[in-house]
Amino acid sequence: MTVLSGAGISAESGVPTFRDVETGLWSKVDPYEISSTQGWQRHPEKVWAWYLWRHYLMQGVQPNDGHRAVAAWEDHAEVHVVTQNVDNLHERAGSQRVYHLHGSLFEFRCDRCQDEYQGELPDMPEPVETETPQCRCGGLIRPNVVWFGEALPESAWQKSVDAVGNADVVIVVGTSSIVYPAAGLPELALANGIPVIEVNPEPTPLSNAATATVREPAAVALPTLLQRLPSILS
């Protein structure tokens, strides 16, 4: 069993999604400005502040029943979690195999020599433009996340393609299925005759192609999804 998750699975934990018009992370900033290499080159202090703020937000949230259900499925099946999320709520809920396609909010590196950064991180209750720390090579310290126009981490991508291609069922939860190449993974499963179940209160570009859709929030749908699978797939 493979789970492909997006920001929606963390919404009920209080982590803002990206596209939600009111509360979404991208309702306040231009995503291609703040999550792109161009944006970083133009104003690193603004990008740095925004990621430190999201890092700070993560200290105040807990996994929800959706994350916990996915972790509990490991008692019944071999579960692989492919996530676009840069939070660590799947791991904190107990999931053992989690592949972060778009990196992590809890890793930082030099944008020149790529050395990992272990230094202090100031608390950022509000995103206030702040000088980025400097590496001894003179490079700037950046979050280890994948920005638009950047390649995904090779190992996480390969493990994700294998996990989707070898799955008996793929659960796609809490994603708008717009950002590629992640959004191409359910298509890969369907092309291999693997059932794809979409869990999302709203329709997405994947909905029509999905084997089945469950129009419920993740923390409501996932705890009983395993029992419902036979009726959902019949």
Which residues are identified as catalytic?
A: 102
Length of the chain: 234
Query: Could you say whether residue 104 binds ligand BV8 (CB under 6 A)?
Result: no
200 lines the binding site for ligand BV8 (CB under 6 A): yes
How many residues belong to the site for Zn ion (CB under 5 A)?
7
Q: Residues 42 to 101: which contact ligand BV8 by CB under 6 A?
A: 84, 86
- Residue 109: its H or E element: strand 103-110
Nearest to ligand BV8 of 78, 212 (CB atom): 212
Of the candidate residues 175, 185, 189, 196, the single one contacting ligand BV8 (CB under 6 A) = 175
The alpha carbon of residue 209 and the mean position of all alpha carbons in its chain are separated, in whole angstroms, by 22
How far is residue 55's CA from residue 143's CA, in Å, rounded to a whole number? 10
Paired strand residues for 214: 199
**Which of 53/148 has CB closer to ligand BV8?**
148
Q: Which of 112, 161, 190, 229 binds Zn ion (CB under 5 A)?
A: 112
Q: Among 167, 193, 14, 148, which Cα is nearest to 81's? A: 167
Q: Which helix (H) or strand (E) holds 128?
A: none
Contact 185, 158 (CB under 8 A): no
103 and 156 in contact (C-beta within 8 Å)?
Answer: no
Burial of 74 (0-12, 13-18, 19+ CB in 10 A): middle
Could you tell which of ligand BV8, Zn ion, none binds residue 112, using a CB distance below 5 to 8 A set by kind? Answer: Zn ion
User: Which residue stretch of 50-58, 62-70, 114-122, 212-220 sits at the interface with Zn ion (rule: CB under 5 A)?
Assistant: 114-122
Q: How far is the CB of 42 from ligand BV8 (least distance, A)?
A: 16
Q: Which listed option, Zn ion, ligand BV8, none, makes contact with residue 175 (CB within 5 to 8 Å by class)?
A: ligand BV8
Q: Which residues pair with 134 in a beta bridge?
A: 140
Report the nearest approach of Zn ion to the CB of residue 44 (Å).
14
Residue 136 beta carbon to ligand BV8: minimum distance, rounded to whole angstroms = 26
Q: How far apart are CA 34 and CA 48, in angstroms?
A: 9
d(CA 100, CA 5): 10
139 near Zn ion, judged by CB under 5 A: yes
**Where do contacts with ligand BV8 occur on this chain (CB under 6 A)?**
6-8, 11-12, 17-19, 24, 35, 84, 86, 102, 145-151, 173-176, 178-182, 199-202, 204, 217-218
**Where do contacts with Zn ion occur on this chain (CB under 5 A)?**
110, 112-113, 115, 135, 137, 139
